[in-house]
Amino acid sequence: MGLIRSVVLIVQLVILLNATSAAKATAAVAYQANSSCQSRCGEVSIPYPFGTGGDCNVSKHFFITCNTSFTPSKAFLTTSSIEILDISLDGQLRILADGSYDCYNKSGATRNFRYWLQLGKFFINNTRNKFTAIGCDTYARVEGFSGQRYATGCLSLCNNINDVSNGSCSGIGCCQTSIPKGVKSYNITTESYENHADVLPENPCSYAFVAENDNYTFYTSDLRGFDFKDKLFPVTLDWTIGQKSCKEAKMDTKSFACKKNSKCIDSEHNSGYICKCFEGYDGNPYLPNGCQDINECETMSPCDGTATCINLNGTYDCSCPPNYEGDGKKNGTGCSLPKKDQSKRSLLIDVALG
């Protein structure tokens, strides 16, 4: 009896320890690298590998400055003046960026501003952003610098504002072009062929900027002097961990960023990687125990009315009642009696009714 009781106590202790460990792991997901890390700055959530210093961010490139002099507080990339709108664990980062302009009167140029953006670690997403220029006497360029040599641009002309259509950026009053893939910097230049001399009353300025595809809609009224000087535009950036491929990064187990129940995905930019939780798991793949099992039985109700849903690690199972066949899933074969049993049941019903 003494031995049996000891075994029972050991089993109970193991179960208790496992339950405690699981509870601690679940609680850890709510925090960053440790519980003292700041998880938000104003309206911006700050998930690890980003953080506000110390062990809270994976490297200096992922450091976030939280400026509390604003109400609500504002998050800025590293120590720069680049404001952050959103950080996604899918490898995207949304920021606010300025644009360039030049303005004229009858005497010539009156004021201008040339905007440039340099990102040492992050890439400008070439599918989610476009380069846009506005004007009736405008040619605009966006080009790289600091080791990246590229240039593209577009031309926008019009005789008068009546030739322009709202929502159209085909080259009459407004033009657009794509950003090259894999760039980390841009410099925007706007110029005029004739100093806007023929269109001054309706269009005294040229404007150009990089912005998310769906963020800006062109209106003819913008040509008449829409004040872009104080306007900022959302831009989507791509971020990655390090510069190694998944295959290379996995060789260094100490610095490899992808934790339990997650997979490594190579960057489209041939530099670095991101981590993603396995299918059936959700959470932060960069934190220990950050990817937690999804209880599909609660979140999806995937089984039909006769089946019992059983949650499993990373998946689930729909169990049909005894004597039934099928996968038990709503979107599958469901649960049903075998055809021979259905025939017997039908015959019994007929006899009873007869």
What pLDDT, in 10s, does the model give residues 262-297?
999 999 998 899 999 999 999 999 999 999 999 999
Please indicate, yes or no, if residue 11 is contained in any of the structural domains.
no
- Same structural domain, 117 and 184: yes
Please tell me the total count of domains within the chain.
Answer: 4
Distance between CA 218 and CA 205 in Å, rounded? 15
Q: Is pLDDT above 80 for 348?
A: no
Largest CA distance in the chain: 105
Average pLDDT estimate for 34-46: 91
Please indicate, yes or no, if residue 67 is contained in any of the structural domains.
yes
Please indicate, yes or no, if residue 349 is contained in any of the structural domains.
no
Q: Is the distance from CB of 233 to CB of 212 less than 8 angstroms?
A: yes
Please indicate, yes or no, if residue 322 is contained in any of the structural domains.
yes
Considering the entire predicted model, what is its pTM? Answer: 0.81
pLDDT score at 111: 85
- φ/ψ of residue 299, rounded to 5: -85, -25
Please indicate, yes or no, if residue 17 is contained in any of the structural domains.
no
Give the three-state DSSP class for 81: coil
Q: Is pLDDT above 80 for 24?
A: no
With cut-offs at 50, 70 and 90, classify the pLDDT of residue 31: very low
Please indicate, yes or no, if residue 353 is contained in any of the structural domains.
no
Q: Is pLDDT above 90 for 32?
A: no
Amino acid sitting at position 276: K
Range(s) of the domain holding residue 196: 95-238
Pairing of strands 116-118, 185-191: antiparallel
Of the candidate ranges 13-27, 58-72, 132-146, the one whose mean pLDDT is the lowest:
13-27
- Same structural domain, 107 and 71: no
Average pLDDT estimate for 175-192: 93
Please indicate, yes or no, if residue 36 is contained in any of the structural domains.
yes
Tokens of 307: 């089946």
- Same structural domain, 103 and 193: yes
Tokens of 49: 């590998």
More confident residue, 86 or 149: 86
- Same structural domain, 113 and 183: yes
- Same structural domain, 167 and 55: no
Please indicate, yes or no, if residue 18 is contained in any of the structural domains.
no
CA 97 to chain centre: 17
Which range of 5-14, 71-80, 186-195, 228-237 scores highest in mean pLDDT? It is 71-80
Of the candidate ranges 90-94, 151-155, 160-164, 174-178, the one whose mean pLDDT is the lowest:
160-164
Q: Is pLDDT above 90 for 77?
A: yes
Q: Is pLDDT above 80 for 36?
A: yes
Bridge partner list, 276: 263
Residues 56, 61, 62, 67, CA torsion sign = positive
Q: Is pLDDT above 70 for 116?
A: yes
pLDDT tens column, 129-151: 999 999 999 999 999 876 678 99
- Same structural domain, 83 and 129: no
- Same structural domain, 101 and 215: yes
What is the DSSP annotation of 117-150?
Answer: EE-SS-EEPTTTEEEEEE-SEEEEEEE--TT---
pLDDT tens column, 223-250: 886 666 678 999 999 999 999 999 999 9
- Same structural domain, 70 and 133: no
- Same structural domain, 99 and 197: yes
- Same structural domain, 259 and 191: no
CATH number at residue 303: 2.10.25
- Same structural domain, 105 and 42: no
Distance between CA 305 and CA 308 in Å, rounded? 8
Q: Is pLDDT above 90 for 200?
A: no
